[in-house]
Structure 1
Amino acid sequence: MSAREIAEPYPFVSTDDDATTAALLLAEHQLPALLVVDTDEQPYAIVPGSQLIGQLLPEYALADPPLAAVLDDRHLDDVPEKMAGLTVAEWLPRRRFWTPVVGPDAGVLQIAALMARAHSPLVAVVERDGDRTQLVGAVTAARLMERLIGGS
């Protein structure tokens, strides 16, 4: 079975899009990761939701989890303000995430190995036409697991 056969349409955002809009897309569609494309709609990054959440937390909460345990959630009230006016590119973690990408003819084993190696909940599927790349869709970990263990 090829990537083309198991890829599904997957919502994406551009590096220039509003960060709050991107966060709402992630939440409303219950996505495991944000698929980010550049201004030419070329895959730019796949960032797991957990890493994006980390971008919203105060630095001390990440540096000292026991301290975060004794503080209440009032410290999260400024999250919307923290994101206001940011683009997706500005919101993304400084650490650039490798974008796992396969062509439409990639096999399940190749996709699974790439997903595992990249620690990514999805792999982008792209079709190359000369020097242009078009996003076909994505293979999610859930879809791949379904294929590997024989689900519906």
Structure 2
Amino acid sequence: MQARDIAVQVPTVALGDSIAHAIQVMALGRLPGLIVIDGEQRPRTVLPGTQVLRLAVPPAYQDDPALTRAVDEAHADVFWHELRDRTVGDCLGAHPPRPTVVKASATLLELATLMARQRSPLVAVVDDTGLLAGAITLDRLLSALALARPDEG
């Protein structure tokens, strides 16, 4: 079985999209992360959900966790709205992580190895030209592995 056999279309975000939009795409799509694409539909980076969350938490709270205890509950529930004007690109910085990408012909073993090594529950699948062809979530990979049977004979 190859990556193309289990890849699915997932919503993506662009560098110019707001952090709020990125969170909504991930939440509404029930995705374990996000694929960030450029204007040509090439994956720029793949962010596990925890990294998307990191983009959403204002830097002041990350730098000083004690500050989080000073925020009342009503404001603590909507903290990420403080970043409404910031884009995914703004938060990634000048050197975003390399995308977790495989070619459509990659095997399940190659996928599993990449996901494990990169600690990413989401992999972008690209065609021979490098354009996004789909994505594979950890759940889809594990399901494919669980259903795979060794050849008999």
**TM-score calculated relative to the size of structure 1:** 0.82
- The answer to whether the 8 A contact 2:32-2:48 is kept is yes
1:47 aligned counterpart, secondary structure: strand
Is 1:149 paired with 2:146? yes
Which residue does 1:120 correspond to in 2? 120
Residue 37 of structure 1 deviates from its aligned partner by 0.5
**Structure 1 residues 95 and 66: alpha-carbon distance in aligned structure 2, compared to 1, 3 A threshold:** farther
What is the correspondence of 1:59-98 to structure 2 with a 5 Å cutoff?
A: 59=59, 61-63=61-63, 65=65, 68=68, 72-73=72-73, 74-75=75-76, 77-84=78-85, 86-92=86-92, 96-98=96-98
Partners of 1:93 and 1:31 in 2: how far apart? 23
- The answer to whether the 8 A contact 2:56-2:83 is kept is yes
Q: Give unpaired runs (5+ residues) of structure 2.
A: 149-153
Residue 61 of structure 1 deviates from its aligned partner by 3.8
Residue 80 of structure 1 deviates from its aligned partner by 1.2
1:80 aligned counterpart, secondary structure: helix
Aligned residues: 147
Q: What's the C-alpha RMSD, in Å, of the aligned pairs?
A: 2.4
Which residue does 2:100 correspond to in 1? 100
Partners of 2:109 and 2:95 in 1: how far apart? 28
**TM-score calculated relative to the size of structure 2:** 0.81
Deviations 1:2-27 (A, max 9, x none): 11101111111111223322221111
Residue 44 of structure 1 deviates from its aligned partner by 0.2
**Structure 1 residues 45 and 28: alpha-carbon distance in aligned structure 2, compared to 1, 3 A threshold:** same
Is 1:134 paired with 2:131? yes
Q: Give unpaired runs (5+ residues) of structure 1.
A: none
- The answer to whether the 8 A contact 1:127-1:133 is kept is yes
Residue 125 of structure 1 deviates from its aligned partner by 0.8
- The answer to whether the 8 A contact 2:37-2:45 is kept is yes
Partners of 1:93 and 1:141 in 2: how far apart? 27
Aligned-residue identity in percent? 35
Partners of 1:66 and 1:78 in 2: how far apart? 15
The one-letter code of the counterpart of 2:20 is T
Residue 65 of structure 1 deviates from its aligned partner by 4.5
Residue 94 of structure 1 deviates from its aligned partner by 6.7
**Structure 1 residues 65 and 18: alpha-carbon distance in aligned structure 2, compared to 1, 3 A threshold:** closer
Is 1:17 paired with 2:14? no
The one-letter code of the counterpart of 1:87 is T
Partners of 1:70 and 1:81 in 2: how far apart? 16
